[in-house]
Structure 1
Amino acid sequence: MQAINPSNTKPSALMPMLIIGMLFFIFGFVTWLNGALIPFLQIVCELTESQALLVAFSFYIAYVVMALPMSWVLDQTGYKKAMSLGLGLIALGCLLFIPASYSHEFSVFLIAQFIVGTGLTILQTASNPYIVKIGPQETAAVRISIMGLLNKFAGFLAPIVFTALVLGEFSQVNAQSIAALSEADKAIQISALADGLVKPYAAMAAVLLVLAVLLNFSSLPDLVLDKPNSEKEASKKLMAYPQLILGVFALFLYVGVEVIAGDTIGLFGSQLGLENATSLTSYTMAFMVLGYLLGLVIIPRFVDQAQALSRSAILGLILSLAIVFSDSQSTQVSAILWGWMGLGLLPDTITLIAILGFANALVWPAIWPLALDGLYSLTARGSALLIMGISGGAILPMVYGLLAEHFSSHSAYWMMLPCYGFILFYAIKGHKMRAWKRD
């Protein structure tokens, strides 16, 4: 992988770092808007839980459906132009929110989400190689960590900004309060809520379009990547690596539980009648930021990647059990954690869901190097396969929604136990496997 640089002088990494940092901030902001958007659209479009979680499904499924078409676009346009195109597609999806808001048509919202997810697919695929390339190889891990922190910090801000700009004077509105209204008052309230989406999404689209143009004319160098001799042959060879195949499944389960922790907390809070339920995802993201900062300190000084992964999985198991047995009327956990600072208290169940962000923080960065270890020339192909694991964010939240409707929102969190159980297996044994057992 080589950057095109016509001069012999080494360019400064500052400007590329700023540009890529901006893109990673956008990744986090747009992705974790879903946590606020799901409970909001449940009210506006009068949806069941599983229907509301189609918002996440339509977003994350784009990573799978559009991965190959977008890789073809990437080959045709080059990396810098592809990133500009990705920003343009996200802007198009944001613009589609305007007619969706006026019509209250949930299907239009889903199409808009799919377009936004498609834009992020090409944007992420195109921008990630720059993280390694814009500076020395030995400091690549530091740059990756900085990008991750920007991503998670944007995820922390997104629900807060959404709640402030979209809900505004309606911050106390939730599923409980809407259900108590008469049909006439409900229609008026829903219409007013939906109208609140128009200006913020129009502004976001305008900003993204400007950034797309600026990026296209920026000094960011393009990349030339070596192409594999045979995609078919590479795919066959990849199947022979258990650490990769099991890693893909572990990543699939991880993204699923990560999205459940970030996107269902608002739904649950809305059902409990909490104010500003659309901002609750920020608590999950705040704990993820704390986990990320801890990872920068302890890995590899005190624990290696496999140990970090196993401890994260164990904490996930403990928290999952605590969630299903927690009392939604009690606020003792938040009182202990932050009540002494004078911050508002939350029900124990909500607090424990948020703390899952801490358990999840180190899973993604730990699985990747363990899954790609020993692949050598197939590393790029293995990375592409791991990206497919993002589809867990589309499928597992839907499973949660169906379980919540058939049982309860509280008991549906039981499904996270086998997910963390497999991640623990991968941390202890799965990543060490170098061949499939044969009879």
Structure 2
Amino acid sequence: MKNKIDNTTIFRTPDGRSYLVPFILVTSLFLLWGFAHGLLDVLNKHFQLAFTMTKAESGLVQFSTYIAYFLMAIPAGIFMKKYGYKKGIILGLLLFAIGAFSFIPAALMHSSTPFLIALFIIACGLCILETAANPYSTVLGPKESAAQRINLSQSFNGLGWILGPLVGGTLIFGAPEGDSTALTKPYILVGSIVLVIGILFFFTKLPEIKEDDEKTPVMTNIPDKSIWKHRHFVLAVIAQFAYCAAQTGIFSFFINYVTEQDPSIDPEKASRILAFGGMTLFMVGRLSGSILMKWTTPNKLLVLFSLISSVCMLLVILALGRISLYALYTTFFFMSIMFPTIFALGLSNMGTLTKKASSYIVMGVAGGAFSPMLMGLIGENNMAVGFIVPFVAFIYILFFAAKGYRS
């Protein structure tokens, strides 16, 4: 019964403390950054149309976002270690709001550069939020159910991914041609919500939880290992880089691929398919993953899901019409558990190094900075060929799930 999903086990520690309320607050952050990332995939196609960019050039949307994770992850971890989770969350929300409202002056400049700078500021905030919220959700309850909690939180992240392209596609692609404020509307909305959430966190008392190995010193003659001597952690950083490269590439060029495979589908309709089809499957996959972990271990589920994702990518590369489209949709379900499960497996048994390890695993998100440009370059004339990038990434994740996760 240890792994049963209910608020008397996964949110309650053996000493009787319940972390359900803090968990709900932290989970709201997963929804927010999911929404922000979901908007990116609409921006990618919009930038191609509005600023006459090639597919590879439009990858700058993702580059300006995900490179922030690489640059900010270590400073975020240092800040968290010194000031704690709560102050880190508030700082992340503040940067998120500043970046969102920066879209207003950017719209007046009629250039892609100010938008890319605003996206970078938003991403700095998102990096801090993810560095705080991912490990925080793993310690809000018993250690044994850490992977279940983070998958549950990430399910709401999936909901944000649904709402992002839905709202963004409607407000951006649905706006009259020449409407310079089209890009600002979704960001004014999300910026306002972020400010409200930030105020709520400021006035809410959150427990500052120490990881088990921080609370109880272990007497041993074995010296502390360097973080880089934890093989499973190092392989988890690489796996997270590979996963984020795959996810970002698939999300970024979903609209391009669908419109190329079926010319009767326009970008606005493709963005709705992305929201209601792909992202819904993504959210359902994470919810299902959290439940399935009652009966199997996280690494075994990751083996199965990464294997199926690899097969789906092969079908996408072959460009078999509707079969390939269905394979692309299916991938959303099976790659859904990868980020949180890799995160939980990578942090396993890291003890006092947990916060530092979290920063490095978040740095793996930088994989999303490079894959869209690489996929765009490979798939400029035939988008299907570009999907060889996520195929290779899923093969590596399969290795990590089968062998590399062992600590």
Change (3 A) 1:376 1:84: closer
Measure the CA separation in 2 of the matches of 1:315 and 1:84. 39
- Counterpart Cα distance in 2 of 1:52 and 1:372: 34
The equivalent position to 1:119 in structure 2, one of 103, 116, 125, is 125
2:49 corresponds in structure 1 to 43
Give the Å deviation of 1:29.
Answer: 1.0
In the alignment, is residue 357 of structure 1 matched against residue 332 of structure 2? Answer: yes
Q: Mark the CA change 1:246 to 1:150 in structure 2 (over 3 Å): closer, same or farther.
A: same
Structure 2 contact 103–118 (Cα < 8 Å) conserved: yes
Structure 2, unaligned runs of 5 or more = 1-14, 216-222
The CA distance in 2 between the partners of 1:380 and 1:198, in whole Å, is 35
- Structure 1 vs Structure 2 CA RMSD: 2.9
Whole-angstrom CA distance in 2 between matches of 1:46 and 1:385: 36
Aligned partners of 1:45 and 1:104 also within 8 Å: no
Asked if the contact 1:262–1:354 (Cα under 8 Å) also holds between the matched residues in 2, the reply is no
Partner of residue 288, structure 2? 294
- Residues 284-307 of structure 1: per-residue CA shift (max 9 Å, x gap): 222222322332332241x33232
* Runs of 4 or more above 6 Å deviation: 9-12
Aligned pairs for 1:327-342 (under 5 A) are: 327-328=320-321, 331=322, 333=323
Residue of 213, 223, 227 corresponding to 2:199: 213
Distance in 2 separating the partners of 1:10 and 1:59? 41
Counterpart contact for 2:147–2:344, Cα < 8 Å: no
Distance 2:144 2:82 in 1: 31
Q: Does 1:152 align with 2:152?
A: no
Question: Take 1:381 and 1:70, find their aligned partners in 2: how far apart are those partners?
Answer: 9
**Which residue of structure 2 lines up, in the alignment, with residue 180 of structure 1?**
none
Larger CA Rg, structure 1 vs 2: 1
Q: Residues 72, 408 of structure 1: CA spacing in aligned structure 2 closer, same or farther, 3 A cutoff?
A: same
CA shift for structure 1 position 34 = 1.0
TM-score, normalised on structure 1? Answer: 0.77
Q: Which residue of 2 aligns with 1:20?
A: 26
Deviation sequence 1:399-419 (CA, Å, 0-9, x none): 1111122x5212111233322
Provide closer, same or farther for how the CA distance between residues 38 and 75 of structure 1 changes in structure 2, counting only shifts above 3 A.
same
Distance 1:305 1:207, change over 3 A: closer
Output one character per residue of 1:212-265: Cα deviation in whole Å (capped at 9) or x when no partner. 2232122334456859xxxxxx99723333322222212211111111122210
- Give the TM-score normalised by structure 2: 0.83
For 1:408, the equivalent position in structure 2 comes to: 382
User: How is 1:200-349 mapped onto 2 (pairs within 5 angstroms)?
Assistant: 200-222=186-208, 237-270=226-259, 272=263, 274-275=265-266, 276=268, 277-282=270-275, 283-301=277-295, 303-328=296-321, 331=322, 333=323, 348-349=324-325
Q: Tell me, what secondary structure is at the counterpart of 2:405?
A: helix
Q: How many residues align?
A: 380
Which 10-residue stretch deviates more, 407-416 or 386-395?
Answer: 407-416
Alignment of 1:164-203 (within 5 A): 164-168=170-174, 189=177, 191-192=178-179, 194-203=180-189
Say if 1:261 and 1:354, in contact at 8 Å, map to a contact too: no
CA displacement at 1:205 relative to structure 2: 1.9
Query: CA offset at residue 322 of structure 1?
Result: 0.5
Paired residue type of 1:364: F
Once the two structures are superposed, residues 112-165 of structure 1 have per-residue CA deviations (whole angstroms, 9 ceiling, x without a partner) of 111010001112223334424544556555433331111111111211111223
Say whether 1:67 aligns with 2:95. Answer: no
- What's the offset of the Cα at 1:267? 2.9
Structure 1 segment 420-439 matched on structure 2, within 5 A: 420-432=394-406
Quote the residue 1:336 is aligned against: none
- Tell whether 2:392 aligns with 1:398: no
Offset at 1:280? 3.8
Q: Deviations over 1:54-110 (max 9, x none)?
A: 111111111111122333444565432332221121111111112222322111111
Q: 1:428 to 1:118 in 2, by over 3 A?
A: same
Q: 1:33–1:159: 8 Å Cα contact kept in structure 2?
A: yes
Separation in 2, partners of 1:43, 1:235: 54
Report the residue type matching 1:354 in the other structure. Answer: Y
CA distance in 2, matches of 1:287, 1:84: 31
Match of 1:386 in 2: 361
Counterparts of 1:430 and 1:221, CA distance in 2: 33
- Determine what percentage of the aligned residue pairs are the same residue: 30
Q: Which residue of 1 aligns with 2:95?
A: 89
SS where residue 103 of structure 1 aligns? coil
Query: Matched residue of 1:393: which SS?
Result: helix
Q: Which residue of 2 aligns with 1:340?
A: none
Separation in 1, partners of 2:308, 2:290: 18
Are residues 14 and 58 of structure 1, via their aligned partners in 2, closer, same or farther at CA, if it must alter by over 3 Å? same
The one-letter amino acid of 1:384's match is S
**Whole-angstrom CA distance in 2 between matches of 1:431 and 1:140:** 15
C-alpha separation in 1, matches of 2:293 and 2:377:
38
Secondary structure of the residue that 1:255 maps to in structure 2? helix
Describe the superposition over 1:379-411 as per-residue Cα deviations: whole angstroms up to 9, x where unpaired: 443333222211111122221111122x52121
Q: Deviations over 1:323-343 (max 9, x none)?
A: 121234xx4x4xxxxxxxxxx
Q: Which amino acid aligns with 1:291?
A: G
- 3-state secondary structure, aligned to 2:108: helix
**Alignment CA distance shift 1:243-1:269 (3 Å):** same
Does the Cα contact within 8 Å between 1:36 and 1:279 map onto a contact in 2?
no
The worse-fitting range, judged by mean Cα deviation, of 206-215 and 100-109 is: 206-215
- Answer yes or no: is the 8 Å Cα contact 2:147–2:341 preserved in 1: no
